[in-house]
């Protein structure tokens, strides 16, 4: 007697023919979605770090420009104009020095070329700049006594 049942797939096997493929496709979809979420998260973290670094650089460049303008005002108390931060990471950064009166100077720092909002504004008393660091009565140096 010849058994023909072995050549034909059983009923149970016929029901499960596509389930392995479906499970593999779902697993691949879940893995790819999690990989995309991780990549997006790291991209946002990199953008946050870059924005923070740029903000810190901007603060330092603004402070440096204010110090350059103060040094210029110390050497020439009638100075009015613009000082550009040429050799920095923000080459368009500039400080505008204006003197609304003979005793006061305003320093306005702009970090970008067409910026309308100032990154930093400082008002300086020019008379105080002239006397700062110069003492009227020089003191004699202290000597060590034994």
What pLDDT shows up at residue 110? 95
* Confidence band of 138 (pLDDT split at 50, 70, 90): very low
Average pLDDT, the chain: 84
What pLDDT shows up at residue 142? 52
Cα–Cα distance for residue pair 116/135, rounded to 1 Å: 40
Q: Which letter, b or e, does each residue of 25-40 get, where b requires 16 or more Cβ atoms within 10 Å of its Cβ?
A: eeeeeeeeeeeeeeee
What pLDDT shows up at residue 16? 63
Q: pLDDT tens digit string along 53-79?
A: 999 999 999 999 999 999 999 988 889
Contact 77, 129 (CB under 8 A): yes
The answer to whether residue 48 scores a pLDDT higher than 50 is yes
- Token readout for 27 is 């697993």
Q: Which of 15-19, 71-75, 78-82 has the lowest mean pLDDT?
A: 15-19
């Amino acid at each position: 007697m010849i058994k023909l049942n072995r050549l034909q797939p059983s009923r149970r096997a016929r029901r499960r023919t596509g389930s392995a493929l479906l499970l593999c496709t779902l697993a691949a979809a879940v893995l790819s979605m999690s990989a995309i979420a991780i990549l997006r998260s790291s991209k946002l973290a990199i953008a946050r770090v870059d924005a923070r670094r740029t903000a810190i650089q901007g603060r330092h460049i603004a402070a440096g420009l204010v110090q350059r303008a103060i040094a210029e005002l110390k050497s020439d108390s009638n100075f009015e104009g613009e000082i550009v931060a040429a050799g920095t990471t923000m080459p368009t950064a500039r400080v505008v020095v204006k003197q609304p009166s003979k005793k006061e100077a305003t320093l306005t720092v702009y970090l970008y070329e067409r910026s309308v909002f100032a990154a930093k504004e400082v008002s300086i008393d020019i008379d105080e700049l002239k006397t700062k660091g110069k003492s009227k009565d020089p003191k004699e140096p202290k000597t060590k006594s034994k």
